[in-house]
Amino acid sequence: MLATLKDMSPRGRRTLVRWTAFGTLGCILFAQTANWLLFRKLGQPALGLSIFSGTIIPLMLAGPLFFYLTLKLRELAIANHRLMEAATTDSLTGCLNRGAFAAHVEASLASSPVSRGDGSGALLVIDADRFKRINDRFGHGNGDEALRLMASAIRSAIRGEDVVGRLGGEEFAVYLNGPCDAGAIAGRVRRAVEALRFRPNGTPWQLTASIGCVRFDAPRPFSELYRIADDLLYQAKRSGRNRVVAADAMAALGPEPYVAAG
């Protein structure tokens, strides 16, 4: 209980005080009204005693009870929030996990107009290059550190409204929602990863990432966008890694070939 009070925000403490005060006051008013109706015909001494007891007893019982219940409700809210975070967040990198990321993108696309016409949406799929070598040579602990560094680099290169997810293993994704130059943002992400200083067990190791970037100007299913971006990612891998390959969704789905941007 003391730990909950210590960790509670000022707003939470104000809520605790309000619920305790108003709950206790409500109990006092109810007790006073009930006592007045029951004892008003018994004379002034009995009525005065009933009013006194109708004030003291609620203060002694209702005050602590409302305080305790409000505090427990606060603890329950905090626990539910932590469970929600655990269910949606990748514990290693702090990014959304695959399910939460896909759900976020689907919800965003579902709330978009049928046709934007401004080319403002994009999905990036980012994969660490030759990541298995890190785990094999330096161990999975250093591999985890590389992933944390990559997640931090990705977040540093995108806008505040963009969303990052870890899709699994060494694969990340970024959803760009709103006016932007998707190719330029993807390039910033690639350079941010390349600029990382990673020294597993004191040995300098160059981290790089390959990126597939699909732009779209109308809402499409997440699975469709991911398939295109994943194909573009493997084009980047086959082209030598540490590069960006981008395309418009319409061109990728139509007879035209992918448009690549290194």
Active-site residue list? 170
Picking from 96, 103, 206, 229, the residue whose alpha carbon sits closest to that of residue 149 is 206
Sign, Cα dihedral of 207, 165, 191, 236: positive
Number of H helices, E strands in the chain: 9, 5
Task: Please classify residue 164 by burial: count the beta carbons closer than 10 Å to its beta carbon, then call 0-12 exposed, 13-18 middle and 19+ buried.
Answer: buried
| CA 163/CA 10 separation, integer angstroms | 29
